[in-house]
Structure 1
Amino acid sequence: MTRSLEAVVFDMDGLMIDTEKTYKEGWLLGANALNVELPGTFINDAAGRSIDDNIKALQQLTNDLSIVMSIRKIREDYFYQNLANGKIPLKPYLKELIEVLKANQIKTAVATSSYKNRVSRVFEHYHMTSWFDVVITGDEVANVKPHPELYLTALEMLGVDHQSALVLEDSITGARAANNAKIPFIIVPDSSSEQVVEIPADFRHIETIVPSLENVAHWLIEKNLLKRCNQEEYR
């Protein structure tokens, strides 16, 4: 990574908002209602995977698209119910990190495989619209993660080159998209996940792994990529 940082691109689910527990519960709720047994591999692989890929995986399990769509509807209803009830919190230090990036005139973006309707509802709920210069969603590109298109599109919209940007991701699927785009990235594993993060040998563009968004700020300060901030807040 260069000594200059012009933009930070965020994933959304599992990184910015604590969604994965709700998603997991929603999948299981829907599957139980339709008498479908979901293997643990489906639940684990669903994180970071696109809507279409999850539907395809479910269809392979059930051989019945109508059952799949019923399961997904139950999961979606459960998600929005939890969102409305305040049961899907923002990740700690998200707002503080964005504020310090803005104070340093570093652009911010979101690149997520989630579709625009969900992203808009999440942003509206948390009043996040003004936090980001660019938001690109899964239904606005031809290919979602782990394909690099979401991240490459975000950089194009930001007007920033690869080595002046940094991606923040929680999942290996999302991190692979950043790696495929040749953008430096940090993995912040989702604390609600029981999976141990194993870094693939071909992840050439990974910078580090940190436990929280607070540690991202520490890392940026240590690398002299943040020049103006109240460092006491991040010690």
Structure 2
Amino acid sequence: MPNSHEVQLNSAGSSIHGATLEAVIFDLDGVVADSHPIHEAAWKTLLVEQGIDSASLNLDFLYAGHPRREILRHYLGSIELSEMERLGRRKDDLYAIARNKLHAKPGILRVLSQLNADGILCALATSAGRVRAHESLEHFGITKHFSVIVTGEEPGAPKPAPDIFLLAAVRMGVKARQCVVVEDSVAGVLAARAAGMRCAGYAPSARLFELAEAGANDLISDFPDDATRHFKDLVGATESQQAAPRASAPQPRG
């Protein structure tokens, strides 16, 4: 069943907003892949290797959707490009060691299958590199469900710039207002809204508040039972219909 924090939308929405759903664009980490625990462990090991005390290490910055270079600068300060590249390779190695623990997010195969069956295009738009993105989808056996895959190696600015989502829409041959983006990071939500797309913020309940603050039109902790109907309603709903439920979003923890 849909989560209690899920935004309730008008089922007649498409006529209100004047748009119809043609495509759903998914982020990879935290949306398609349950990869955050592996990433967090890899980053923690890397940062401890660089002399940071694990007891005082706050990893919240990892979940904001920043590119790798910004994460390294946040925790380590100004570093040379060559050192940044070396540390990036080390982080990739640490992630690869635990890759056998990688699982798909619950319900994602069902949602992709529903959307495909209903004629809705699906795309992946991720800041991850091309190899890791494709390997993850192949590992889950879901590559065939995506008509377009856009990675962080494509030209353009990273999230929160809208480039990656706009490129996905162009490659699918659809308009931005006909798309819904499913994102779990603040940068991703900001990028989706900057692209002129409706955004479903998808995260554990404790993190929904920050996605609402970033401008997510919809808040879910679990994928809806009828994904096609839910995302169609999201495209059609007015901003006022979406904004009202935000007051009931969970408050941030101290």
TM-score range, shorter chain: 0.7 to 0.9
Question: Secondary structure at 2:224's aligned position in 1?
Answer: helix
Greater RCO, 1 or 2 (C-alpha within 8 Å, sep 6+): 2
Match of 1:9 in 2: 25
1:181 partnered with 2:195? yes
Corresponding residue number in structure 1 for 2:210? 198
Q: How does 1:47-196 map to 2 (within 5 A)?
A: 47=63, 48-60=65-77, 63=79, 68-69=84-85, 71-83=87-99, 85=100, 87-189=101-203, 191=204, 195=207
- The alpha carbon displacement at 1:151 in A equals 0.5
Matched, 1:212 2:222: yes
Deviation at 1:201, TM superposition (A): 5.4
Counterpart mapping for 1:10-25 below 5 A? 10-25=26-41
CA distance in 2, matches of 1:201, 1:82: 33
Give the percent of matched residue pairs that are identical in Structure 1 and Structure 2: 24
Match of 1:34 in 2: 50
Q: Deviations over 1:153-183 (max 9, x none)?
A: 1111111112211110111111110011110
More moved, 11-20 vs 193-202 = 193-202
The residue aligned with 2:10 is: none
Tell me, yes or no, if the aligned pair for 1:14 and 1:170 is still in contact at 8 Å: yes
Cα gap change, 1:88 to 1:214, in 2 (>3 Å): farther
**Alpha-carbon distance in structure 2 between the residues aligned to 1:222 and 1:116:** 29
Higher alpha-carbon deviation: 72-81 or 193-202: 193-202
Find the aligned partners of 1:202 and 1:141 in 2 and give their Cα distance: 25
Deviates more, 1:140-149 or 1:193-202: 193-202
Specify the code of the residue in structure 2 equivalent to 1:173: A
Deviation (angstroms), 1:199: 4.3
1:54 to partner: Cα distance:
2.2
Measure how far apart 1:215 and its partner are.
5.6
Q: Which amino acid aligns with 2:117?
A: A
Match for 2:45: what amino acid? L
How many residues align structurally? 217
TM-score by length of 2: 0.75
Query: Do the aligned partners of residues 75 and 197 (structure 1) sit closer, same or farther apart at CA in structure 2, a change above 3 Å counting?
Result: farther
Aligned-partner SS, 2:32:
coil
* Distance of aligned partners of 1:104 and 1:144 in 2 relative to their CA distance in 1, 3 Å threshold: same
- The farther-off stretch of 140-149 and 31-40 is 31-40
Distance change >3 Å, CA 216–CA 136, structure 1 → 2: farther
Tell me how far apart the structure 2 counterparts of residues 196 and 31 of structure 1 sit (CA, whole Å). Answer: 27
How far did 1:53 drift? 2.3
Asked whether the equivalents of residues 181 and 200 of structure 2 are also in contact (C-alpha less than 8 Å), the reply is: yes
Give the distance between the partners of 2:160 and 2:176, measured in 1 at CA.
17
Checking the alignment, whether the CA contact within 8 Å between 2:34 and 2:105 is kept in structure 1 is yes
Q: Which amino acid aligns with 1:150?
A: I
1:57: how far off? Answer: 2.8
Q: Secondary structure at the match of 1:31?
A: helix
RMSD: 2.8
Change in 2 beyond 3 A, CA 1:126/1:197: same
